[in-house]
Structure 1
Amino acid sequence: MIYIKLQGHIYEYDIKEMVRQYFPKENIQMISDLSKASKNELIIINGLKVEKDKYKFYTIFQKKNQILLKEIMQLRIPSFENDKEKQRWEKRKLKVILYYSMEKQYSKSLPWGILTGIRPTKIVHKLMDEEKKEENIAKVLKSQFLLSNEKIKLLMDVAKQERDIVYPIDKNKVSIYIGIPFCPSRCVYCSFLSSVIQKNRESVKEYLQALYYEIKEIGKYINKHSLSIESIYIGGGTPTVLKVDELKELLDILQETFNIDEIKEYTLEAGRPDTINKEKLIVALSHGIKRISINPQTMNQKTLQNIGRMHSVEDIKKAYFLAREIGFSFINMDLILGLPGEDLKDVKRTLKEVEILKPENITVHTMSVKKGSKLKERLEEIKLDQGQKVSKMIEVAQDFASSNGYYAYYLYRQKYMLGNLENVGYCKTGYRSIYNIQMIAEKQTIIGLGAGSVTKVVFQEKDRIERMPNVKNVEQYIKRIQEMIDRKLSLLDSLYCKI
């Protein structure tokens, strides 16, 4: 147990997440009264005081009524344009003094410094928008956010790859996400509310009917307001778990509703090789889908069994070569580093197999212990590396990508990632994924359709994003479909129907 006491501020979420970077497995509890904390447990006090023309930021570590460490940072009060800027600055400095304290106490630096957010490239884009030079941006990332030199370079490289896709911003361009919340089995690391298809086959038809209705209603709105669709991404779950006729019907509806010929990128997640066959691939290609994702996660048979995948390494290869034979020239493969029981040799074996296949995209994920996953429930019995080993795996993957002609084109982070690391999308020249970049950059409105999808409407002039999630439960989605459509249209109206 670790207790946190805040003094002089209320930035609970930010401080708690910062502490979690050092203590990923500990139970962290906020307290308002120090007397309620167990004296045998670590207590972290994080606070600020305003004294005349100065800010005083401090962090105190204490245990058994003894102060283990006390760090203080005093800064002159800068001028702020508004309260939002003031709060952002205060939070950053509080995290900095907390980070310095933890780094000193535990002799451990974090590669991403004080950054705990999902989209670090947004910081770089903001500085680029202000026409800051590269060296000045690097200085900001180093001095204000405490990033390592390696992460600064990675972040800068990725942001430069994103720029020409994200900009210029056009509010009349949107992307569409369509969720199919069914899978052949549930992987141990997955927290998505996906239904195992064999247990829920009877609900698929009803679900698809509700989804078709949502697609058509949103299609009417898009056509009425002359919006342009830049990309469509069909994800899940595992969309290819649908039967051939179900997949064809879905793609027929999309073709009838949207102008597929003008879409720049059309992706289908075909993540599980045990759901892929020749007929489904032909249907997908004939309906204009050019990019598919076949996701091995690992090329080690024992690991596949351990994580709940009911297919073999050979199945992955067969599915991949079948997709090539059918005519797909744009394939992504997802890998996860830090899977239970895997070491560096296993990762190298996976990369060697992927090297033979030569997909256009490789998305390298760092293992994340997500709430609601089987892995989280079994955390005590499963040994997961929390640092150096996973960091080395990331280095090996980066070297592999570079030596095989791939470059990093998008990046994001997740909560509870091993080693406080990152997920990186790599691509061959000319094969960046538009949807992935726009989804992370959050400069384009993305309309989510289906259970568990999230619509994000971007109000660029106000520097604001509004999210509207669909319910995750399939039964509730079917019952409440009209409600979700109405709410979505109302939110879109707030951007496209200004009086």
Structure 2
Amino acid sequence: MKIFIDGHDYKYEVESLVRMFFHGKELPVETGEPNTNEDFIYTKVVKGEASTELLVAVSLDGSSENACDTVCNSLPNYDAECERVFAVMLYRILTPMTGIQLKWGVLTGIRPVKFVHRFHEQGLSDDEIRRTLAEKYLVSPQKIDLMMNTARREAQVLKLSKPNFYSLYISIPFCPTRCLYCSFVSHSIEKTKKLMPEYVDLLVREIEYTAQVLGRIDGLQLETIYFGGGTPTALTADQLRQVMGAVNKCFDFPSVREYTVEAGRPDTITEEKLRVLKEYGATRISINPQTMNDSVLDAIGRRHTTQQTVDAFHLARKMGHTNINMDLIAGLPTDTVESFCSTLDQVLGLNPENITLHTLSVKRAATLADQADKAYRAQSEAVTQMLGYASESFGAAGYHPYYLYRQKNTVDNMENVGYCKNGSEGLYNVYIMDETHSIVALGAGGVSKLKEPGGELINRVFNYKYPYEYISRFDEILARKNKIAEFYAVHPFDCK
């Protein structure tokens, strides 16, 4: 299968939509008209004086279909409309030809809920938004309900933040083992333990230097802190004290609404570490089983048991942690619908404040990447049943969706959703998905996203990816932090 682009610059949008129908397939993209007898998808733009003609032709497994439509040249959102029309034509052809029906319609982006917020800003009512999503973007009723419910909760959180607020992300890129599906910049302790003491020392220096840079920006206030990874509790209790102590010493806390630490893997959680998290101000932690089935845990390379998850949860409660998140994944290799439903029932029985439900996504850097297509096919039908059971169970247990995002290469093109009890929304999760304000990121793999106050511009400042790079090129990382002050000098905020 080849994709041909003729007379237009909508390659990314066309390719993104087509890939949803052909998971794991090679889809080379060429310009011009088809020059092959093999399967192809051809898209062409012919721009006239008043309108533009868009054409699509598809040849697949001996069958051929084509379509055409027009877009008015004077439309203020001309390019976006051309992209949408191309996507709709492709969807209407590929759905019957492949037998695949996308529940998200032609929406391919990471942040579908932004459509709802944008339509509200344009003055559309809820009914008008629902009709637009169904008719123009072909989104299913179930996903429209999810978008609308999530947007309603998100809007309440977004009202809290102000243009002069920012969030702090601290990366701890170490894990006990690397999971089969994982592509995060995380490294098993077995291989990188010798790097950890020096990494922690340099991370403290980056915290100190960054705090000095941010302190020179008058009026800037810290709203949320998030320790992620990796697994932050892969550090020793003393190392956690060292890093969290530096944060407490260097940053002002009066405006901080939330302080999250991903305790993550249950086999890294101890009473002493939980005590450190509490002592140094963490208000929210994660204990992430992914599944409560021991055989599935073994299949994905997680060396802990279901019982360890339960024990870690109860220990956290005993140590005074009152806001706990738990992560689950639908579609894991060897998992079944029955096993997943049992996992969900067990986690709901623990009664955490937050549950984040991911759909399996296998990135190119993951160990499972070579078997991704097989994994998708094996779990495709099951994932729909898993997510359906989860949606009903969450609603019955009093949990509501409050943030939502999608990833490429996800089984059945499904989504990741954060559910919570009333008043337990994870603020950082909403802010980073909405791109509400600046996120200042420290540590290996950290990417600071500097948001223009009151605008849409986002500048990115990158740290080096891997711990050994972070250590060997640390002076460059510190120098890059000066870009934060330079950004706010050009894009000041009014915090009156």
TM (norm. structure 1) is: 0.94
Q: Aligned residue for 2:95? A: 103
In the alignment, the residues of structure 1 paired with residue 159 and residue 46 of structure 2 have an alpha-carbon distance, to the nearest angstrom, of 41
Q: Aligned residue for 1:71? A: 67
Superposition deviation, residue 129 in structure 1: 2.1
Query: Out of 395, 398, 410, which is 1:417 matched to?
Result: 410
Q: Does 1:161 find its partner at 2:160?
A: no
Query: Out of 390, 396, 409, which is 2:389 matched to?
Result: 396
Superposition deviation, residue 3 in structure 1: 0.4
Q: Does 1:434 find its partner at 2:427?
A: yes
Q: Aligned residue for 1:22? A: 21
Mean Cα displacement is larger for which, 102-111 or 309-318?
102-111
Mean Cα displacement is larger for which, 272-281 or 489-498?
489-498
In the alignment, the residues of structure 1 paired with residue 390 and residue 230 of structure 2 have an alpha-carbon distance, to the nearest angstrom, of 26
In the alignment, the residues of structure 2 paired with residue 197 and residue 169 of structure 1 have an alpha-carbon distance, to the nearest angstrom, of 37
* SS of equivalent residue, structure 1 residue 409: strand
Q: CA RMSD in A?
A: 1.9
Q: Does 1:42 find its partner at 2:39?
A: yes
In the alignment, the residues of structure 2 paired with residue 57 and residue 33 of structure 1 have an alpha-carbon distance, to the nearest angstrom, of 14
Letter of the 1:11 counterpart: Y
Q: Is the 8 A contact 1:385 1:418 kept in 2?
A: no
In the alignment, the residues of structure 2 paired with residue 146 and residue 392 of structure 1 have an alpha-carbon distance, to the nearest angstrom, of 21
TM (norm. structure 2) is: 0.95
Q: Does 1:203 find its partner at 2:199?
A: no
Q: Does 1:175 find its partner at 2:167?
A: yes
In the alignment, the residues of structure 1 paired with residue 182 and residue 83 of structure 2 have an alpha-carbon distance, to the nearest angstrom, of 32
Q: Does 1:295 find its partner at 2:280?
A: no
In the alignment, the residues of structure 1 paired with residue 48 and residue 233 of structure 2 have an alpha-carbon distance, to the nearest angstrom, of 62
In the alignment, the residues of structure 2 paired with residue 383 and residue 172 of structure 1 have an alpha-carbon distance, to the nearest angstrom, of 43
In the alignment, the residues of structure 2 paired with residue 62 and residue 161 of structure 1 have an alpha-carbon distance, to the nearest angstrom, of 44
In the alignment, the residues of structure 2 paired with residue 316 and residue 391 of structure 1 have an alpha-carbon distance, to the nearest angstrom, of 26
Number of residue pairs matched by the alignment: 491
Cα–Cα, structure 1 residues 51 and 107, in superposed 2: closer, same or farther, change >3 Å? Answer: farther
In the alignment, the residues of structure 2 paired with residue 14 and residue 321 of structure 1 have an alpha-carbon distance, to the nearest angstrom, of 47
Q: Is the 8 A contact 2:4 2:33 kept in 1?
A: yes
In the alignment, the residues of structure 2 paired with residue 320 and residue 384 of structure 1 have an alpha-carbon distance, to the nearest angstrom, of 34
Cα displacement string for residues 445-493 of structure 1 (whole angstroms, at most 9, x for unaligned residues): 1111111111111114442212222111111112222322322322442
Q: Aligned residue for 1:135? A: 127
Q: Is the 8 A contact 2:453 2:491 kept in 1?
A: no
Superposition deviation, residue 121 in structure 1: 1.2
Mean Cα displacement is larger for which, 94-103 or 264-273?
94-103
Cα displacement string for residues 430-455 of structure 1 (whole angstroms, at most 9, x for unaligned residues): 10010000010102111111111111
Q: Is the 8 A contact 2:376 2:411 kept in 1?
A: no
* SS of equivalent residue, structure 1 residue 328: coil
Letter of the 1:330 counterpart: N
Cα–Cα, structure 1 residues 198 and 106, in superposed 2: closer, same or farther, change >3 Å? Answer: closer
In the alignment, the residues of structure 2 paired with residue 180 and residue 404 of structure 1 have an alpha-carbon distance, to the nearest angstrom, of 33
In the alignment, the residues of structure 2 paired with residue 308 and residue 108 of structure 1 have an alpha-carbon distance, to the nearest angstrom, of 31
Letter of the 1:206 counterpart: E
In the alignment, the residues of structure 2 paired with residue 132 and residue 63 of structure 1 have an alpha-carbon distance, to the nearest angstrom, of 39
Q: Is the 8 A contact 1:59 1:101 kept in 2?
A: no
Letter of the 2:123 counterpart: E
In the alignment, the residues of structure 2 paired with residue 115 and residue 383 of structure 1 have an alpha-carbon distance, to the nearest angstrom, of 20
Q: Does 1:274 find its partner at 2:267?
A: yes
Mean Cα displacement is larger for which, 277-286 or 114-123?
114-123
Q: Is the 8 A contact 1:411 1:425 kept in 2?
A: yes
* SS of equivalent residue, structure 2 residue 304: coil
Cα displacement string for residues 11-49 of structure 1 (whole angstroms, at most 9, x for unaligned residues): 212111111101112111112365654x2x311111222
Q: How does 1:254-265 map onto structure 2 within 5 Å?
A: 254-265=247-258
Superposition deviation, residue 144 in structure 1: 2.4
Q: Is the 8 A contact 2:34 2:42 kept in 1?
A: no
Cα–Cα, structure 1 residues 90 and 168, in superposed 2: closer, same or farther, change >3 Å? Answer: farther
In the alignment, the residues of structure 1 paired with residue 215 and residue 73 of structure 2 have an alpha-carbon distance, to the nearest angstrom, of 49
In the alignment, the residues of structure 1 paired with residue 112 and residue 60 of structure 2 have an alpha-carbon distance, to the nearest angstrom, of 34
* SS of equivalent residue, structure 2 residue 8: coil
Q: Does 1:54 find its partner at 2:51?
A: yes
Superposition deviation, residue 56 in structure 1: 1.8
Mean Cα displacement is larger for which, 372-381 or 308-317?
372-381
Superposition deviation, residue 87 in structure 1: 2.1
Cα displacement string for residues 58-86 of structure 1 (whole angstroms, at most 9, x for unaligned residues): 2111258x6611112234x15244xxx33
Cα displacement string for residues 336-390 of structure 1 (whole angstroms, at most 9, x for unaligned residues): 0000011110111101211220100000000111110011123366564353321
Cα–Cα, structure 1 residues 132 and 173, in superposed 2: closer, same or farther, change >3 Å? Answer: same
Q: Is the 8 A contact 1:182 1:238 kept in 2?
A: yes
In the alignment, the residues of structure 2 paired with residue 280 and residue 62 of structure 1 have an alpha-carbon distance, to the nearest angstrom, of 59
In the alignment, the residues of structure 1 paired with residue 392 and residue 148 of structure 2 have an alpha-carbon distance, to the nearest angstrom, of 18
Query: Out of 301, 319, 324, which is 1:331 matched to?
Result: 324
* SS of equivalent residue, structure 1 residue 201: helix
Runs of at least 5 residues in structure 2 that lack an aligned partner in the other structure: none
Q: Aligned residue for 2:476? A: 483
